[in-house]
Each structure stands twice: as structure tokens, then as C-alpha cells.
Chains A and B, each alone.
Chain A
Amino acid sequence: MNKNFDTTDCYVVEGKLALPYTYFAGRVGSTFITTIRDKQKIMGVKCNTCDKVFVPPRQTCERCLEDIRDNWVELKNTGEVVNFTVVRYDDKHLPRKAPFVLAMIRLDGADTPMVHILEGVDLDKVQTGMKVKAVFAEKTTNTILDIDHFKPLK
């Protein structure tokens, strides 16, 4: 590209910015993760006003603004793919090497989907409506990856 000024002295300094941070899962989020880790059970919270079951769980119902933090309900480890995408690039924050599938999975007993990794199926065979099952991680990381991935329920 032509520039209308002398670029002899222009150059680019490559740098890196380190951003330290602490993420707090919150009381509801902590219970969600410790239950997955210790009991291998996925829990959601239910709003008693609109009867919706949220997972990942939340403190307040987004529709009714009810406090629902204590209304835990146990969900099944199986669910249905409601949407998905194929990740085709690598980046440090991604949990797997590309290509892999990130799917929105509505667990049986829940009304909202959660995003997780879908494995054990060819990229071109993934379909919405597929039945899938959670596979729990052997080693805990104290994150949502204590569910290692979901796999097709055959």
C-alpha cells in the first residue's frame, strides 16, 4: 500500500500483554461444579413460577425474576443436540485441537441447553436432534470440563 509519508522509520513492535485474573464461579456455579466432580451428577435449578429448569444453573429466573438458587433438581446424563458448530481453528483458550464439535445440548429434564464438546462422531454425521450422553472426566479441573465431553448415545 502506498503511503503519503516517508515510512523509512516506521516499524512494528511485537509485544504481549499478560492479564492475570480470578474467575469466581459463584455459590450456585460452585455447587454445580462440585456436584459434577464429587457425585457425577448434573444439576439444574427450577423456577417454581414458570416451571423452567435452567442448566447451567442460575440464581435468578430470567423471566420471572424469582430467586431460584435453592431449587436444585437432578438431571439425566443424557440429552439432545439442539445446535452445534465445528471449530476449525486452533487457539489457546480452546479445549481441543481443531477440528472438533461444540454442541448445544439440552439435557433430559432441562429446558435450556448448555454448550459442551461432542466427540465420538464424524464431523459430517453430527445432526441436531442426536441423542448424546455425558462422559465424566477422570481427573478434576474444578471446571465444567469435569464433564470431559458428550458422546452419541447408541
Chain B
Amino acid sequence: MSEFYGIKVEDIFKSMTDRFRPEGAANITTTFGYSIKNIGSWKLTIANGTMALKTTDDLSGCDVVLDTDGETFVGLNIGKVDAMSAFTSRKLKVQGDFNTFGLTSRMFQKYMTPGQETRQEQELITLKKTISVKQRFATGPVFGKFLKGLKEKKILAIKCPECGRLQSPPRETCAICRVKNEEWVEIGPKGEMRMMEYCYYASPDPLTGETRETPYGAIGILLDGCKDEEVFWHLLRPDQLNDVKMGSVFKGKVRHGTRLRPVWNETRKGNIEDIRYFEIDE
């Protein structure tokens, strides 16, 4: 005998008596015919809250007849096949009123494979929480000076005494030369666009849980006074995402990007968001 999804068509019919719910069949009087291709035909009679099922080749007296193949029939019973899509794709044919078959879901409990009965649906408990962790960030002397600079509308960079490169945000040492940085330089505040990441997904701000509007542009700006890859990362004004041009240096050939200027917040607290974003400088 052929099986579909590991289930025999015959088993579904055999279990109907056990799955029958008289309360669901009250006031229903109908005869259903099932014609399963290459497997057999069944006639189901529902009357006065009782059911009778028999194997027969004669489905002529049925109110509705369902004509399908074994795979679709089993799939329908275990929820693997959607009745409507099986119907529209002609895998399932109905003589009579299609909706009458909807009654069977009220009259019978769902078919379950042996062993599945014991694994009844269980209420599973989950708990959604947000815990808030206090944290303190000690800036140290170098980063502190940089943040204080932002408060005064200054963008500061620190200079390596050996290779001369600028770092902003600053670090206490130059990681390439392994020497302590000492000299401070004010850079910008205007600069040119070097690169942009067009961001479609914003992760939530860990401090507030809020998510930035997308898409947004995370940009690398070559501030005046800087060279090569000494770019400063910030945001681009959201409505100007498509109006900027990136700059580049390729084999010594410089292509200038769009000129940008920072937009400062009125009240500045000494953090990177004191600059709201950069916008096109015209």
C-alpha cells in the first residue's frame, strides 16, 4: 500500500470513527463521497450526530464528492497542503458545494500519526524583558580632550611625532610607530566626502533602544588638514543621500568628492552627537 508523508490513506479513513465529534455534527445531514485516485472510494454519511463510513465504488447518491490523489488527500489532513491552492491547481476536484467540505473540520478532530497524540499541544511560557544596565565610560585624558573640543565646535586630531599622521577620534598612541602621541591639531570643520556606506539596517541604540531611520549614510569625510586615509566618520544629512559624490585617490590621481560641513547641535554635551550630521556645503 502506498504511503504519503509516511501515512496511508486507509489509516485516515479508519481513524475517522475515533476522531468523530458528535457535537460538531449536530444538525448536519450530508453524504460525502471520497474518490482517491488509484486507491479507492469511500462514502461518509452524517445524520443526526452520527456517522457511517463504508468503502464503495458507487458514489452516485452523494451530496458532494471529493476527487483527488492520495498525496493531496493526506497532505490536506495533516496540514501540509492548502485546500484552496490544491483546488485552484486542479489537484482537488469537488462535485457539489466546495464549502460543505469545510464542515468536516468541525466534525472530526485533526488526524494525528500514532505517537503524536501523546504530544498534545502545550502552552509554552516565554518571558520578554528588557534589563537596563548602568554603565560609566571614563574618557581618559585623550578622548576627554577630543569630546571637550566638540563642545566648543572644534574637531581635534592627535598627531604622531614620527610618521605625522593624524588620528581623529584620537588615540593615545600611534599604533603603527608605537610611540606616544603628544601634539594636538584642529582639523576641519569642513571637508570632502570620501566614502559612504548606504545603510539599510540600523541596529537599535543600546542606550535608548531606538532605531535610527533607514536608509542612512555613514560617511568618511576627509576634513581639511587631513590627507590620505585620515577620514573622520560621521553621518550624512538623510535627505542628501543621493546628492553626494564620493572622492578617491587612485594611482596618485585625486578625484574630489562633495564638500561637506558639520551641523552642530545648539546644546552640546561633549559627545559625538554634538555634531548632528554633515551636509552639503554650497
Interface on A for B, CB 8 Å cutoff?
5-25, 27, 29-31, 33-34, 92-93, 142-143
Beta-carbon contact of B139 and A20 below 8 Å: no
Beta-carbon contact of B139 and A17 below 8 Å: no
Complex-state Cα separation, A27 to B124, whole angstroms:
6
Given A13-B271, A30-B125, answer yes or no on A18-B136 (Cβ-Cβ < 8 Å): no
Q: How far is the CB of B106 from chain A (nearest CB, A)?
A: 27
Contacting A22 at CB < 8 Å: which of B123, B127, B207, B208?
B127
Does B148 lie at the interface of the complex (its beta carbon under 8 Å from any beta carbon of A)?
Answer: yes
Closest B residue to A29 by beta carbon equals: B125
Residues of chain A within 8 A (CB-CB) of B127 are 22-23, 25, 142-143
Residues of chain B within 8 A (CB-CB) of A15 are 134-137, 207
Beta-carbon contact of A17 and B133 below 8 Å: yes
Given A19-B133, A20-B129, answer yes or no on A30-B123 (Cβ-Cβ < 8 Å): yes
Beta-carbon contact of A17 and B135 below 8 Å: yes
Does B145 lie at the interface of the complex (its beta carbon under 8 Å from any beta carbon of A)?
Answer: yes
Does B128 lie at the interface of the complex (its beta carbon under 8 Å from any beta carbon of A)?
Answer: yes
Q: How far is the CB of A55 from chain B (nearest CB, A)?
A: 17
Beta-carbon contact of B124 and A30 below 8 Å: yes
Does B6 lie at the interface of the complex (its beta carbon under 8 Å from any beta carbon of A)?
Answer: no
Contacting A19 at CB < 8 Å: which of B125, B131, B148, B208?
B131
Contacting A18 at CB < 8 Å: which of B123, B132, B142, B147?
B132
CB contacts under 8 Å to A, within B224-275, are 270-271
Given A23-B129, A27-B122, A34-B123, answer yes or no on A18-B207 (Cβ-Cβ < 8 Å): yes
Beta-carbon contact of A31 and B130 below 8 Å: no
Contacting A12 at CB < 8 Å: which of B131, B138, B142, B145?
B138
Beta-carbon contact of B270 and A11 below 8 Å: yes
Can you list 20 residue pairs at the A/B interface with Cβ under 8 Å? A5-B141, A9-B139, A9-B145, A11-B144, A11-B270, A13-B137, A13-B139, A14-B135, A15-B135, A15-B137, A16-B135, A17-B206, A18-B133, A20-B128, A20-B130, A20-B209, A21-B128, A21-B129, A22-B127, A33-B125
Residues of chain B within 8 A (CB-CB) of A143 are 127
